[in-house]
Amino acid sequence: MKTTHRWLSIIEGCLLVALGLHILNSAGLLISGTAGVGMILLRVTDLSFGQLFFLLNMPFYILSWYALGRDFTLRTFASISLLSVLSELIKAHVHLSIHPILSAALGGLLVGFGLIILFRHNASLGGLNILSVYLERRFRIHASRTTLVADIGILIAAFVFLDLADLGYSLLAFLLLSSVVGRYHRPPKWAQTALLDSK
């Protein structure tokens, strides 16, 4: 029963993220992390977002396997594969025309809550998510801080591809995602105990 609950939650988290990314892609906006890198590369390659996202995450499995364990890595691989498939399906069957402000708000929130579900079930969407979980477990650096640094890097790279208005909308999506992760993500119990012991 516990395993079934976990995998249902992972599917739900991936679906929320896939929908959020599609909403952002439909308006030509960006989000943080590996997904943001994939969105930028969409503009310079012939690959789809699902293909790019799957390929970009390949190098991070090594870090995940040795630093975060087999179970986390397998769940993350399954989550990334599922998100890649869902992204392709949603792109083919869901067509949107949405104002960039609403796109940024909905997209950022959906991706943020999807990530929270995955984090709470010991999974991630690879790339910088793996790095953020690793830094939290190893150095007690909250995942939202790593996410914020990634946001800044993606925004700097985005100056080449987006106009100022779309950069502003993308920044709104970044901030909402980071706000959701910062407010709702809770470190593992061992990290909370360590923080209490240090006070």
Q: What pLDDT digit, counting tens, does each position of 24-65 carry?
A: 999 989 887 788 888 888 888 889 989 999 999 888 888 888
Residue 126 and residue 91: Cα distance in Å, rounded? 21
- % pLDDT > 90, the chain: 32
Pairwise pLDDT comparison (20 vs 143), residue with the higher score: 20
pLDDT at 99 over 90: yes
Which range has the worst mean pLDDT, 84-98, 151-165, 167-181?
A: 151-165
Name the residue among 155, 4, 149, 130 with its Cα closest to residue 57. 130
Residue 104 and residue 82: Cα distance in Å, rounded? 23
pLDDT at 197 over 50: no
51: containing domain: 2-198
Q: Rounded mean pLDDT of 157-175?
A: 87
pLDDT at 199 over 80: no
**Res 17: pLDDT:** 95
The number of folded domains in the chain is 1
Kindly give, in sequence order, each residue whose CB lies less than 8 Å from that of residue 112, ignoring residues fewer than 6 positions away.
20, 176, 177, 178, 179, 180, 181, 184
**Res 20: pLDDT:** 95
pLDDT at 70 over 60: yes
Pairwise pLDDT comparison (134 vs 167), residue with the higher score: 167
Q: Rounded mean pLDDT of 140-167?
A: 80
**Res 9: pLDDT:** 93
In this prediction, residue 198 has a pLDDT band, given cuts at 50, 70 and 90, of: very low
**Res 169: pLDDT:** 92
